[in-house]
């Protein structure tokens, strides 16, 4: 009985130590990836309070922060995160003024950006962060959405397989926009915008007319100009819609079918 109890107690202690070690390692990671003023007790405490750390571990970490080794490691980590973020949105950042570019990257890294090991996810999140800061409409916003759309479609393309067309025989199937697709509005002829980007030339003046371009993993080259009907369907699919509500005339049915076949729309059963 004693041996059984003793084993359980030891196992419990080992488990607790394992959890404590995990939290200690997590604290090190947070302190490395979260730029803080190391003389700010409030900032340090905010990191520590997220985890289950003993008073001794808190003291140990607090003493570690101002050390040269830790500061050097943190600087390397910060630089690596900035470089990773810059690569994730290279095209968008390239057309922004230098100071704005630096500020955006610094702000992104300061909230923990640039540290993800999943590049596509990191790129998508960072471009969304940038897009929220840009004027609408603007070429800068178009390029951010363009780059985001390419990342999404390109990431999904290798595993993409067209669906069985028999889906259209089930009117209770629900459709919505695919997370791997996007409709990007250009405010100049897309060819002119692409040419300017390729040559690193000034972008053309904004036009009163918009030019929608569809991105999807099942498209050759991942994108093509969108028709007015496709743009209208894309807007409808902002929220899930049953196929029976979309199947009007023959032309609309063809657009719905194309959207599913190229991966611009996902399917869900209505509940």
CA nearest to 82, candidates 98, 100, 106: 106
Range in 15-29, 213-227, 247-261 with the lowest mean pLDDT: 15-29
Find the length of the chain. 271
Given this model, what pLDDT does residue 147 score? 96
* Distance spanning both ends of the chain, measured CA to CA: 54
Q: Which residue has the tokens 């002829």?
A: 189
Integer Cα distance of 122 and 88 in angstroms: 7
Compute the chain's Rg from CA coordinates.
25
pLDDT digits (tens, 9 = 90+) for 21-67: 666 666 656 566 555 444 445 555 665 666 666 777 767 666 666 66
Question: Using CA atoms, how far apart are residues 130 and 107, in angstroms rounded to an integer?
Answer: 10
* Cβ atoms < 10 Å from Cβ of 235: 10
pTM: 0.71
pLDDT over 80 (residue 165): no
Cα 236 from Cα 5, distance rounded (Å) = 63
Peptide bond into 43 cis (omega under 30): no
Q: What angle do CA 161, 163, 165 make, to 5 degrees?
A: 145
> Which range has the top average pLDDT, 13-27, 68-82, 124-138?
124-138
For residue 184, the cross-strand partners are: 213
Region 163-182: what's the mean pLDDT? Answer: 82
Q: Which of 228, 138, 150, 223 is nearest to 187 (CA)?
A: 138
Residue 219 has pLDDT above 90, yes or no: yes
Task: Give dist(CA 210, CA 229) in Å, integer.
Answer: 14
Statement: residue 70 has pLDDT above 50 = yes
- Domain locations in the chain as residue ranges: 1-66, 160-269
Of 188 and 25, the structure prediction assigns the larger pLDDT to 188
Kindly report, residue by residue over 88-131, the tens digit of the pLDDT: 899 999 999 999 999 999 888 877 776 665 567 889 999 999 99
Beta strands at 182-186 and 211-215: parallel, antiparallel or unpaired: antiparallel
Q: Considering only the top CATH level, what class is 160-269?
A: alpha beta
């Amino acid at each position: 009985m004693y041996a059984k109890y003793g084993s359980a107690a030891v196992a419990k202690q080992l488990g607790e130590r394992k959890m404590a070690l995990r939290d200690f390692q997590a604290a090190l990671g947070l302190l490395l990836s979260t730029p803080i003023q190391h003389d700010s007790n409030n900032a340090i405490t905010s990191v520590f309070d997220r985890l289950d750390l003993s008073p001794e571990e808190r003291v140990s970490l607090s003493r570690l922060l101002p050390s040269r080794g830790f500061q050097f490691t943190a600087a390397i980590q910060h630089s690596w995160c900035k470089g990773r973020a810059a690569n994730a949105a290279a095209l968008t950042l390239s057309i922004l003024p230098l100071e704005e570019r630096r500020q955006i990257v610094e702000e992104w890294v300061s909230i923990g950006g640039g540290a993800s090991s999943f590049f596509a996810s990191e790129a998508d999140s960072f471009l969304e962060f940038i897009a929220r800061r840009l004027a609408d409409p603007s070429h800068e916003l178009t390029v951010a959405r363009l780059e985001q759309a390419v990342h999404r479609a390109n990431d999904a393309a290798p595993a993409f397989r067209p669906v069985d067309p028999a889906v259209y025989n089930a009117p209770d199937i629900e459709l919505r926009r695919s997370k791997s697709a996007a409709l990007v509005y250009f405010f100049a002829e897309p060819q002119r915008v692409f040419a300017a980007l390729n040559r690193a030339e000034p972008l053309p003046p904004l036009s009163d007319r918009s030019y929608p371009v569809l991105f999807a993993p099942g498209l050759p080259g991942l994108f093509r100009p969108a028709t007015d009907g496709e743009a209208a369907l894309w807007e409808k699919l902002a929220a899930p819609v049953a196929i029976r509500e979309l199947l009007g005339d023959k032309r609309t049915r063809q657009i719905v079918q194309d959207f599913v076949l190229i991966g611009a729309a996902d399917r869900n059963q209505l509940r």
